[in-house]
Amino acid sequence: MPPHFQLDEDNDVIHNAEAFSLAPESAYQAVYSPLRLYLRQLVVDEVKRENPKLAAIQHRYRSPGLDRLFVFSGMLGNHSFFMIALPFFHTFGMGAFARGLTFVVLWSIYFSGAVKDYISAPRPASPPVVQITRSPAHTLEYGFPSTHTTYAVATIVYISHFMLNVWHISTVWVGLMWVCGATIVAGRIYCGLHSFIDVVGGIVIGAIEALGFVFFFDRLDALMLSTAGPLYSVAIFYFAMSSIPRSLDPCPCCIDSFCATSVTLGLSALSMSTVAPNSDSARSSDWAFKQLFKLESKCRSPTPALQVEAIGEFPKLLDQFPFPTLVSSAFLKLGDLFRSSPNSLRYHIAQVFGASQQHLAQITQTEELLKRILVVLYSNDPIARVLALRLIGNASLIFAKFPEAQHSILLRYQSSHPLEIVAAVQTTESMLSYSPEFLEVVWETVLSKADDPNVLDSVRVQLIRSLQHAAPNLMLTCLFSEYKAR
């Protein structure tokens, strides 16, 4: 009986299509190797076992609204969507990220297609399962693994790496992206196009592929942009095409794989001819981020001398490549290091903030950076708190107007450690130069501390001097004059 297609249209028309005919089992046994037969039989048996469950899920949860949701989500993971979306990353000059993402998406089509041809397992039987799709051509191929799942997971893992480790985007946005991915994956089951084992296979293949590109794409990109880049690309393309398993059925997976890898071959040639000759300009952003990753690796070195050397190279890198994305990433990495490093390194990190003040205004994740510093400021180590205060003072340009920073400085005046009080006073003076309104919050605390007989005279002088910013405020100026007369 032919499979049962139901397109999610307004009039909900039911269509019949020719079945994707599988060769008889005897043909597989005559042609396939024992290992290939064994793996195929495992998947086929699991698909048959899951078929009643899939039909039961559809019977229980199907609704017009969910039909439209999952058909739409499936469109976010098909070839047409990526054909439209991927060029935008190249158009907006995202360099190595755009090339890496394109490779991840297109090679996931190759890997999933090759496994489909090798396993040669059918999709869930229809009927009893209703296959809900706008493109019945999807069913004219094998089922394991799910290609939609493979490149949805691969794409999301790869982008998540950049969002969390390079761009330092909030985890909320990363979570929303994963929710969209989960919708695509769940839709393959809801729409009756794949079984659970198909989806699990796609998740595993997509995750492994994405992690491989995360860790090794820099080397691949360097080869691709080298003089011999096209030769390497042609060799990889030839090896990939010649390695596609032959299947007994007319599955179009090999055609998809050929088309996808052909695009990567063209991208390699184009990148070598356009990016490589302009390495001093077009590739500067990519090179700068690679240098940033190298500095971060040196900062994690067990050798203190290498760590100090790496931290000292940050201002040079920022002066040479003052890109907003690079600046934000660099300072957030420094914030992470400041939070987890010993005080000896924290001192040098605070110095970097002072030496690179001209770049602070380009930081886009200021609140995230401040959170990393406040972790140290609320620690039990008074020296660590002093260093955190000095860093905040050096970065007053971006922290001065944050109530969290102002409140944390006020708390430091209650300390019994003289160095901490001095650091709090110096930070207050620096903050007031960028946010005079801070005086309305801090002046009572400063006057109270200046009246404390236990405070050193040198500290008292600094406390008085910090209130020179009271001049614009008449009431506070009067109070300041009254205090001086006492």
As a whole number of angstroms, the distance between CA 143 and CA 112 comes to 10
Taking alpha carbons only, the member of 176, 141, 390, 155 closest to residue 255 is 141
Catalytic pick among 4, 138, 148, 348: 148
Helix H segments across 127-249?
A: 147-165, 171-190, 196-225, 229-242
Angle at 416 between CA 413 and CA 421, to 5 degrees: 40
Where does residue 472 rank: exposed (0-12), middle (13-18), buried (19+ CB within 10 A)?
A: exposed
- CB atoms near residue 283 (< 10 Å): 19
DSSP string, 293-355: HHHHHHHT-S-HHHHHHHHHTHHHHHHH---HHHHHHHHHHHHHHHHHS-HHHHHHHHHHHHH
Judged by DSSP in three states, 450 sits in helix
Record the tokens describing residue 24, joined without a space. Answer: 């008889």
- CB atoms near residue 453 (< 10 Å): 5
**With contact defined as beta carbons under 8 Å apart, do 422 and 387 qualify?**
no
Catalytic pick among 138, 168, 194, 348: 194
* Residue 194 annotated as catalytic: yes
As a whole number of angstroms, the distance between CA 106 and CA 98 comes to 12
Taking alpha carbons only, the member of 231, 227, 265, 213 closest to residue 96 is 213
**With contact defined as beta carbons under 8 Å apart, do 391 and 373 qualify?**
yes
As a whole number of angstroms, the distance between CA 187 and CA 196 comes to 11
Residues carrying an active site annotation:
148, 194
